[in-house]
Amino acid sequence: MPGKRSPARLIVALSVAAVLAVFLLYTSIAGGGTPSLIPSQAAGHAGRISVGGMVVGKPTGDAHAGGLHFRLRDPKGSATIPVVYTGSVPDLFRTGREVVVDGKLRSGVLVAVPDTLVTKCPSKYTPKT
Partner 1 sequence: MPDLGRAALVTSFLLLSYATVAGAFAAWHGRRRLAESAQNALVAAFAATVVATVVLLVALAQHDFSFTYVANHTSRELPLGYTLTAFWGGQEGSLLLWLLVLCGYSVAAVLTARRAGREVLSWVVPTLGLVGTFFALLLVFVASPFATQVAPADGAGLNPSLQNPYMAIHPPMLYLGYVGLTVPFAFAMGALLARRTDERWIVATRRWTLAAWAFLGVGQLLGAHWAYVEIGWGGYYAWDPVENAALMPWLAATAFLHSVMIQEKRGMLKVWNVLLVTLAFCLSLFGTFLTRSGIIQSIHSFTQSSIGPWFLGFICLITAGSLALIFLRLPLLRSKTRLESLVSREATFLYNNLLLVALALTILWGVVYPLLSEAVTGEAATVGKPYYNFFLHSFGLPLLLLMGIGPLVAWRRASLRALGRTFLWPLAAAVAAGIALLAAGAGSSRIGVIAYTFSVFVLASIVLEFVRGTSARKGLGDVGWPGAFSSLVARNRRRYGGYVVHAAVVLLAIGIAGSSAYQTVREGRLRPGDSMTVAGNRLVFRGFQTSTESNHRAIRANIDVYRGGEYIGRLRPGKNQYFAEGQVSNEVAIRHSVLTGGDLFLIADQVNADGSLDLKALDKPLVNLIWLAGLVFIGGSLITLWPDAREQRRLAERYEGAAVQA
Contact (CB, 8 A) for 38 and 75: yes
Cβ 98 to partner 1 shortest distance, Å: 10
Nearest Cα neighbor of 112 from 100, 97, 94 is 100
The least CB distance from residue 118 to partner 1, in Å, is 5
60 interacts with partner 1 by CB under 8 A: no
The footprint of partner 1 (CB under 8 A) covers 6-8, 10-12, 15-16, 19, 22-23, 26, 30, 32-37, 41, 50, 52, 62-65, 88-89, 91-92, 100, 118-127
